[in-house]
Amino acid sequence: MAANTQAVCNSFKVELLDGIHALGATVIRAGTTKDTFYGALYLVNQSYGAGTTAYNSTGEVSSANYVAGGAAITNATAPTLDGSTAIWTPSASLAWINVTFASFDCLLVYNSTQGNKAVGVYTFGAQSITAGNFTLTMPANAAATALLQLA
């Protein structure tokens, strides 16, 4: 006979990503469509991180072919489980064509549908681009690599 084991239910983790549960004060959500997410790029030496609560244009890159607020994220991949980890990764890379960016090193993913609330800050090595293309390739949607992982 198997024994009961204490754990957070795996289905609950995915349902959190789907916005099913509200464990505190909540906005009533009657919509049946996905929220819209954006990715914005930031210059090095800014202070974006775990304490970031919303999109802010302070320290954001600028270029003739970059719109403040960044780019819309293609969200065709539904949250799912890989083992006991709930995961989500955008379904397409983010790309900017013919841009010039001074030294930059992070992406803020935020939810524009929900008042530009921050989802995560993702850093990478400092880069600079002069009249070139920049593509931010999304990682594989797996427990060890997904952009958003809840274990």
3-state secondary structure of 16: helix
Answer whether residue 4 is part of any domain.
Answer: no
Provide the mean pLDDT of the chain: 89
Q: How many domains does the chain have?
A: 1
Residue 76 confidence (pLDDT): 86
Answer whether residue 17 is part of any domain.
Answer: yes
Answer whether residue 95 is part of any domain.
Answer: yes
Task: Name the E strands within 31-144.
Answer: 37-43, 71-72, 80-82, 85-88, 94-111, 117-136
Answer whether residue 1 is part of any domain.
Answer: no
pLDDT in tens, 118-140: 999 999 999 999 999 999 999 99
pLDDT in tens, 34-48: 889 999 999 999 999
pLDDT in tens, 5-24: 677 778 778 888 888 777 67
Kindly state the helix (H) or strand (E) to which residue 13 belongs, with its residue range: helix 10-17
Tokens of 129: 């681009």
Residue 118 confidence (pLDDT): 93
Answer whether residue 34 is part of any domain.
Answer: yes
Short-list 97, 103, 116, CA closest to 40: 116
Answer whether residue 65 is part of any domain.
Answer: yes
What mean pLDDT is predicted for residues 88-102?
A: 96
- Domain extent for 131: 10-150
